[in-house]
Amino acid sequence: MKTLHEAIRPTTFLEPDKLKTHLGIDLTIASETFQITGSFKFRAAYNLALNVPNGEIVTASSGNFGQGLACACQLLGKKCVVVMPETSARVKVEAVRNYGATVDLIDTKRVRREDRVRELLETMPAAYRASAYDDALVIDGNATLGAEIANYGNFDSVLVPVGGGGLSSGIVKGLCEIGSRIKVYGAEPLLGNDAARSLKAGRIVANEAEPLTLADGARTLSLGKLNWEILRDGLAGIVEVSDENIAESMRFYFGLANLKCEPTGALSLGAILERIEDFKDQKVCLIVSGGNVDTELYRQILAG
């Protein structure tokens, strides 16, 4: 049984000369597109599956956490059920199944995910209910990436995609634990800007409905409670990113960095495009959280 550090792939740092020249910014990419299962979520999922005593784990996930958890459970010999919306990217559904997990597809217009998870748990009393973000084990798993970034370079700022807050709170915690002073900025879809509104209000504010942003990994109703406790004081700010700049960032990565990136992963570069002047004189690290995107959607985005 591998420890967390043995199981994960260290992040892939890229310093793309063409992109740096084009934008005129000293940027480094921390790409989790080559992480096991293709996104950072494996860090969280493995840490959780490794440390809970239960032999069965149930979760609701729009895709990448489900994939990470399915893979972690397969490696650790645990049973895994993943509740997913019918609208999830097809490649993500297939990948979860390929890792040996049971996929439970629901129509989110009729059934709320948490209700379906509760229903399942009644038939699986020994199972652990895993949140994709609002869990201390998830945050600790993601904190490993914060530590890797601090060890790599002397950055002024790190920009990180925000959905439920699992990754961003992990980065804040990971940097904090080793005494790093790198500033952490969240990058959130403008179409689902609950975290930005929460920071302004000083309390968790939820989206009215699941936001229909291109960034399918950030289609969350609100930040998790544990994540909020860390983010409320831990973030230097949040940048709201239009879907246009998410798509443009994916094209920049393709054309100027040879990097295949999923929409949610492109949020951090999107934040640079939104506020380029704010980051001009900084040494910036952009976290690309994952690379799993449907082929047809990717083709459409490349067409511009």
Q: Which two tokens stand for residue 133?
A: 């973000």
CB 95 within 8 A of CB 292: yes
Site for a second copy, residues 111 to 150, rule: CB under 8 A? none
Binding range to a second copy, per CB under 8 A, among 14-22, 157-165, 191-199, 212-220: 14-22
Q: Are 192 and 220 in contact (CB under 8 A)?
A: yes
> Can you say whether the dihedral through the CA atoms of 35, 267, 171, 192 is positive or negative?
negative
What's the sign of the alpha-carbon dihedral 177, 179, 182, 185? Answer: positive
Sole binder of a second copy in the list 2, 5, 21, 109 (CB under 8 A): 21
Candidates 8, 16, 50, 234: give the one binding a second copy (CB under 8 A): 16
The nearer residue to a second copy, 21 or 51, going by C-beta atoms, is 21
Smallest distance from a second copy to CB 258, Å: 3
- Judged by CB under 8 A, the residue of 151, 255, 280, 281 near a second copy is 255
Q: Which stretch binds a second copy (CB under 8 A): 31-39, 116-124, 179-187, 201-209?
A: 31-39
Select the residue interacting with a second copy from 20, 183, 260, 275 (CB under 8 A). Answer: 260
Q: H/E element holding 284?
A: strand 283-288
- Interface residue with a second copy, options 11, 169, 220, 292 (CB under 8 A): 292
From residue 56 to residue 85, the character string flagging contacts with a second copy as x (rule: CB under 8 A) and all else as - is ---------------x--------------
What are the helix (H) ranges across 83-224? 90-98, 113-123, 136-152, 166-177, 194-201
Angle between the 41-51 and 166-177 helix axes, to the nearest 10 degrees? 80
Q: Which of 16/192 has CB closer to a second copy?
A: 16
The answer to whether 39 touches 70, Cβ cutoff 8 Å, is no
**Residue 203 sits in the site that holds a second copy (CB under 8 A):** no
With beta carbons less than 8 A apart as the criterion, state whether 14 and 259 touch: yes
Reference 154, options 123, 174, 175; nearest CA is 175
**Is residue 261 within 8 Å of residue 291, measured between CB atoms?**
yes
Binding residue (CB under 8 A) for a second copy from 5, 15, 55, 209:
15
Residue 303 interacts with a second copy (CB under 8 A)? Answer: yes
Residue with smaller CB distance to a second copy, 79 or 260: 260
Q: Which residue has the tokens 């440390």?
A: 51
Q: Which residues bind a second copy (CB under 8 A)?
A: 9, 12, 14-18, 21, 33-34, 36-38, 71, 91, 95, 98, 251, 254-255, 257-260, 291-292, 295, 298-299, 302-303
